[in-house]
Structure 1
Amino acid sequence: MATILAVSGSPSPVSSTHQVLTLAADRLADRGHRVETLAVRTLPAAELLRADAHHPQLAEAADQFARADAIVLATPVYKAGYSGLLKSFLDVLPQFALEGKVVLPLATGGSLAHVLALDYGLRPVLMSMKPRAVSESFFVHAGGIRKGPGGFAGLEPDTEALLHEATDTFAGLVESLTQAALSSVRLVPAA
């Protein structure tokens, strides 16, 4: 199965965005994929803002990104745009860092108008990085999130079902493209 990197672009250690990403990652792992997680907020801020790609932590994050077969990017939407933290990380990566990869953009936001940030803000940046495919974006409105005493308590059943559907569609795309790549490899017997 594929190695999938789940990237959290939320600046908050306790965020609905990270929780939604975790639900998607768990669903992908249940399908047999190897899922790794990267919380961009844990990278050194000064080096990230300077785009110091040679800093050891940023270089390791870029290597982790390069090793993945597919990427799930999760971001909160602020002021009608995806997070600056995620943008800073994408700017550190090589120009064609998504080449050959399948991407699932996820976002959370407080207004349905924020859904446009995915297709009019994030998608063009992703497409400039030459992905093999970008799955349909998925947006979680604040009304689809259940809150408890400690914050995030899960998703409303309808929202969770839609997240599962989006995640399964993405997984199916990853699996079909991985299988197609494997079937195009011709084994030549040793002489």
Structure 2
Amino acid sequence: MYDIVIISGSPSSESRSQSVLKYIGNILKNKGLSVGHISVRDVPAEDLMFGNFNSPEVNDIAENIKNAKGVIVGSPVYKAAYSGVLKSLFDILPQDAFKDTPVLPVMSGGSISHLLALEYALKPLISTLKGTTLKGVYYLDSQVDKTSDSPIQEAELIQRTETQIEDLLEKMDLEKSFS
């Protein structure tokens, strides 16, 4: 069981959103929290493609989410939304997978015009799984160095990220760890 589960919707192992999620995970680990990382790349493609609701990997993911006190979901922007493979995963999770759980959405994209993908695509998707959606953070590709251990390149963006992490920690239901 993890305090926080981080879900990466990037089909690429070396994406900017994946780098940011690892960075956030390290911050949380340094605060003494246990962090589980889930990638859409970890789910068999056949399960995603054919909607296998009985997939052992998907059931494990659902169980980790259910037992977490908080969740972070990240995706690159594709065609003004989240990745299709993330949607495929969410389609086969239980419909209340994020019930009563604070969820921090994180997205990265090449243009500021894709900022609304966070508001109009990812947040509604999280809400359909009954998550309590936080404000979230959007990263421009130019603000992220995916080859660095500290991938966020601007002080203001680092501060916004830390503020959103603190907001997540404040909203996490500590009682979940005792049930």
Output the TM-score relative to the length of structure 2: 0.89
1:28 and 1:171 in contact (8 A); partners too: no
Alignment partners' CA distance in 1, 2:167 and 2:95: 27
Alignment partners' CA distance in 1, 2:66 and 2:76: 23
What one-letter code is carried by the residue in structure 2 that aligns with 1:172? E
Find the counterpart in structure 2 of residue 155 from structure 1.
152
Alignment partners' CA distance in 1, 2:51 and 2:152: 35
Please say which structure displays the higher CA radius of gyration: 1
1:110 and 1:142 in contact (8 A); partners too: yes
Alignment partners' CA distance in 1, 2:10 and 2:121: 16
TM-fit CA distance, 1:41: 1.2
Q: How does 1:17-56 map to 2 (within 5 A)?
A: 17-56=17-56
Alignment partners' CA distance in 1, 2:123 and 2:154: 27
Q: How does 1:120-131 map to 2 (within 5 A)?
A: 120-131=120-131
Find the counterpart in structure 2 of residue 178 from structure 1.
174
Task: State which drifts further: 153-162 or 84-93.
Answer: 153-162
CA-to-aligned-CA distance 1:52-102 (integer Å, 9 cap, x gap) = 021222222222222212110010001111111111111111111111211
Aligned residues: 175
SS of 2:115's equivalent in the other structure is helix
- Structure scoring higher RCO (CA < 8 A, sep ≥ 6) equals 2
Alignment partners' CA distance in 2, 1:53 and 1:99: 18
Gaps of 5+ in 2: none
SS of 1:72's equivalent in the other structure is strand
1:82 and 1:122 in contact (8 A); partners too: yes
Alignment partners' CA distance in 2, 1:167 and 1:95: 25
1:4 and 1:35 in contact (8 A); partners too: yes
TM-fit CA distance, 1:15: 1.1
Alignment partners' CA distance in 2, 1:58 and 1:98: 14
Find the counterpart in structure 1 of residue 93 from structure 2.
93
Find the counterpart in structure 1 of residue 164 from structure 2.
166
Output the TM-score relative to the length of structure 1: 0.84
Gaps of 5+ in 1: 186-191
CA-to-aligned-CA distance 1:22-53 (integer Å, 9 cap, x gap) = 11111122222211110111210111121102
Alignment partners' CA distance in 1, 2:92 and 2:45: 12
Alignment partners' CA distance in 1, 2:75 and 2:142: 17
